[in-house]
Amino acid sequence: MGCAQSTIAVVGRKNKKRIIQESVVFVLQFRVPVQSDLQRQLKGVSPKTTINRLTCLRNQIELVAEDTGGSAISELRTALEEYLSLLSGLIKKSKDGMEGCVELKWRTLGDGRRAEICCTNLWMEMLIVIHMMAALALTEANSLMIPKDCYASGSGNGVRVVSTDCRRDAVDLLLKASGYLEFCVREILTQLPHDIKSKLPDDMQESVLQTLSIQALGQGTEIQLGLAVDSQKATLSVKRRIACEQVIYFTQAYHCLSSCEAVSHGCAKKLLRFIYWKFLEAKAAAYYYHGLVTDKGSEPACHLSAVCCFLAAAEILGESKKACLSFCLAPPVTRFVLLYDILHVNYE
């Protein structure tokens, strides 16, 4: 879902068949390093052993990502973390991130064309690395939230389920991804000269990074609502509060991205449609649970107010389905898994 490629090719046939994969979490596209002559660029700046290790890690990240399509998350994360540690050491030795002294190239995974990004600053290199770590966290959260081929016992409706442990782990990963992206905004972009920031790809612009961080929190809250729905201990008031928090997150994310110049195309345009869809879903849930809470009142007006809430929830849910279709059809085409079906929420 999102900016990453949403299809895979089935090989071994005369004609390749594209299969659109199921997705839940808005994931980011992966970028992989392009071979660079670090020995020449970092000569005299860092020990030869460190330079060799940096080169080895860049090659490892590229090969593993290309061979697995980015699915070897644990191996990629380990390599990126070590690379980030060495990169941080180089940055501490330089005052300006070695501006103009390095040329480290990256390209989009699966794109055989020339390098998409050329880093002439170590701070920019760190931005790309942490951005990819966030992408890995989102991708892993997405894989955990894909329903397996098992069904809710006794449900009789054939609804596929996601285990509680998987959902909790997905929440942790979304929080981690949000933290990575927030760090990029607060600690890295502030170190980059204006001319470099103006040339960053759309998904690394400040407004987009901030939006991605907020919407990751929103999706984590969405999953927490599902956990509350499944919990017998969670009260209606708790479920309403979580739904309202979800509305707040997606409202903030929508307003943050709406002011971005890049929103008219590419990743940002699809992200805006995703956020609008999730905002409508959250708003429908908030109305629904507010209606249930209100209906507990003893006054006749309470029941009337509850009915109005249920009608509003049903109307907004209908709008959300249209927004979902708009998001799915925006390139790259996406096949979604509706979380509220998984969570057995009924607005009727």
Give pLDDT tens digits for 104-133: 889 888 766 555 788 888 899 999 999 999
**For residue 72, what pLDDT is reported?**
94
pLDDT above 50: residue 283: yes
Q: How many angstroms separate the Cα of 57 from the Cα of each of 29, 36, 108?
A: 20, 12, 17
Contacts 24+ apart (CB under 8 A), 300-306: none
Q: What is the 3-state secondary structure (H, E, C) of 109-151?
A: CCCCCCCCEEECCHHHHHHHHHHHHHHHHHHHHHHHHCCCCCE
Which of these, 226, 345, 241, 230, lies nearest to 293 by C-alpha position? 241
**For residue 314, what pLDDT is reported?**
94
CATH number (domain holding residue 88):
1.25.40.280
Q: How many angstroms separate the Cα of 74 from the Cα of each of 29, 66, 156, 300?
A: 17, 15, 37, 57
Mean pLDDT of the chain: 85
| Enclosing domain of residue 78 | 31-149+162-201
pTM confidence score: 0.88
Q: How many domains does the chain have?
A: 1
**For residue 153, what pLDDT is reported?**
47
In a domain, 250, yes or no: no
In a domain, 40, yes or no: yes
In a domain, 339, yes or no: no
Helix (H, G, I), strand (E, B) or coil at 160: strand
Q: What average pLDDT does this structure show over 42-59?
A: 88
- Percent of all residues in the chain with a pLDDT value above 90, rounded to a whole number: 55
**For residue 9, what pLDDT is reported?**
41
In a domain, 246, yes or no: no
Beta bridge partners of 9: 18
In which band, very low, low, confident or very high, does the pLDDT at 185 lie, cut at 50, 70 and 90? very high
Backbone angles phi, psi at 49, to 5 degrees: -65, -40
Q: What average pLDDT does this structure show over 314-328?
A: 93
**Which of 27-31, 177-181, 314-318, 337-341 shows the lowest mean pLDDT across its residues?**
337-341
Residue 255, amino acid: H
In a domain, 342, yes or no: no
In a domain, 86, yes or no: yes
Q: Which residues contact 303 (CB under 8 A, 6 or more apart)?
A: 295, 297
pLDDT above 80: residue 163: yes
DSSP string over 294-324: HTTSSSHHHHHHHHHHHHHHHHHHHHHHHHH
Whether 250 and 278 have beta carbons less than 8 Å apart is answered as yes
Higher per-residue confidence, 216 vs 337: 216
Q: What average pLDDT does this structure show over 259-274?
A: 79
Helix (H, G, I), strand (E, B) or coil at 220: helix
pLDDT above 60: residue 223: yes
**Which of 27-41, 46-60, 139-153 shows the lowest mean pLDDT across its residues?**
139-153
pLDDT above 80: residue 193: yes
Rounded CA-CA distance 320/246 in Å is 15
Token pair in block for residue 125 = 């290199």
In a domain, 230, yes or no: no
Q: What average pLDDT does this structure show over 19-25?
A: 76
Rounded CA-CA distance 345/323 in Å is 19
In which band, very low, low, confident or very high, does the pLDDT at 4 lie, cut at 50, 70 and 90? low
Q: What average pLDDT does this structure show over 180-190?
A: 96
Higher per-residue confidence, 271 vs 343: 271
**For residue 264, what pLDDT is reported?**
66
In a domain, 193, yes or no: yes
In which band, very low, low, confident or very high, does the pLDDT at 155 lie, cut at 50, 70 and 90? very low
**For residue 55, what pLDDT is reported?**
92
Rounded CA-CA distance 74/96 in Å is 32
Residue 340, amino acid: Y
Q: Is the dihedral of CA 258, 331, 140, 109 positive or negative?
A: negative
pLDDT above 80: residue 135: yes
Beta bridge partners of 8: 19
CB-count exposure of residue 293 (10 Å: 0-12, 13-18, 19+): middle
Residue 257, amino acid: L
Q: What average pLDDT does this structure show over 54-63?
A: 93
